[in-house]
Structure 1
Amino acid sequence: MMMLDDAGGRLADDGPNGMDGGWRPLDSVRQTGFENALPPLDVRPVPGGAEMRTRPHAGCANVMGSLHGGFLSALAEQSLFLPLYLHGRCSRGGIVVIDFSLSFLASGDIATPIVARLELLRETGRMAFVRGTLWQGDVAITAYSGTVRKLDKR
């Protein structure tokens, strides 16, 4: 079972080792910049893709108290590199997004952790095609896809 850790907003799995299940914090490449506007992110590789999870905070809300669409869009776009990065196919910051499409499926709750599930659909020498879904519990709140260009080779 997933538990919230109020120290730093991190998520931890219930278990003897705290961060069970292969989850680890996503390393930050910069102390400044847009990525620091997002809450802390935990990630793990899965066969054929990746997963990311985070705990939203009050700054992620819209005027109605639900998750802001801009926050959800940014979170989804920022996750597109993970299937490549977590499987050693690009460096941190080693891609650019060529196109990105997102559909809002349901309203998001500010008090519920978000899990992104990403699938690497296809990879070529320089390009990758990724599909993802943001979930809160068993409710899909967004579905998205994107094309990324790799800037470096691994």
Structure 2
Amino acid sequence: MSAPAFIHEPDPDNPGWLIWQLSDPTRFNATLGKLLVRLEPDGQARVRMFPERPHSNLANNVHGGVTLAFIDVSLFAASRMFGLIEAASAVTLDLSTQFMGAGRVGEPLDATVELLRETGRLLFLRGLVVQGDERIASFAGTIRKSVRR
């Protein structure tokens, strides 16, 4: 039996949060660093990353590419929290993002994700990237669930 693709278990350092981490640290997701996820009382999922210097641009803000990657990974972490997919069982079909501000290094960055609709194969999601009370980006994305064989 092979090891699970993701580590998805309670984070002992952050009660109420689950770790969202690839089991293989040589894969792309590891570039984002530590990620946490939880369900909010309103039914949305909240995914958190901890931006550090390697995530920064020359203005010492979170690089836009990091924010985009974080959003993409958040779609999957949220969908897993909603109980709609298993890890590594879906693909991104589209992702639309509107940047509204710059993320700061050294402060948690959160993506709040809401499920708009589920069809047989598709999940339609939207959300915000926030840092404290500031909105950094809004997004909408569609992911396709895999077919079980």
Q: What SS class does the counterpart of residue 22 from structure 2 fall into? A: coil
Stretches of structure 2 that go unaligned for 5 or more consecutive residues are 1-10
Residue 110 (structure 1) aligned to one of 105, 108, 123: 105
Q: Distance in 2 between matches of 1:27 and 1:60?
A: 17
Q: What SS class does the counterpart of residue 14 from structure 2 fall into? A: coil
Q: What SS class does the counterpart of residue 133 from structure 1 fall into? A: strand
**Over residues 40-88 of structure 1, what are the superposed CA-to-partner deviations in whole Å (9 max), with x where a residue is unaligned?**
1010123533111111010011011111111111101111123321122
Residue 42 (structure 1) aligned to one of 36, 51, 70: 36
| Greater Cα offset, 77-86 or 101-110 | 77-86
> Which residue does 2:62 correspond to in 1?
67
| 8 Å Cα contact 2:97-2:139 kept in structure 1 | yes
1:122 to 2:117 alignment: yes
Percentage of matched positions with identical amino acids: 34
| 8 Å Cα contact 2:37-2:78 kept in structure 1 | no
Q: Distance in 1 between matches of 2:38 and 2:19?
A: 9
Letter matched to residue 131 of structure 1: R
Letter matched to residue 111 of structure 1: G
Letter matched to residue 30 of structure 1: D
TM-score between the two structures when normalised by the length of structure 1: 0.82
| 8 Å Cα contact 2:47-2:78 kept in structure 1 | no
CA RMSD, 1 decimal: 1.7
| 8 Å Cα contact 2:129-2:135 kept in structure 1 | yes
1:137 to 2:132 alignment: yes
| 8 Å Cα contact 1:49-1:82 kept in structure 2 | no
Q: Distance in 1 between matches of 2:38 and 2:104?
A: 23
Q: Against the structure 1 CA distance between its residues 145 and 30, is the aligned structure 2 distance closer, same or farther, given a 3 Å change threshold?
A: same
Letter matched to residue 44 of structure 1: R
Shift of 1:133: 0.7
Question: How many residue pairs align between the two structures?
Answer: 137
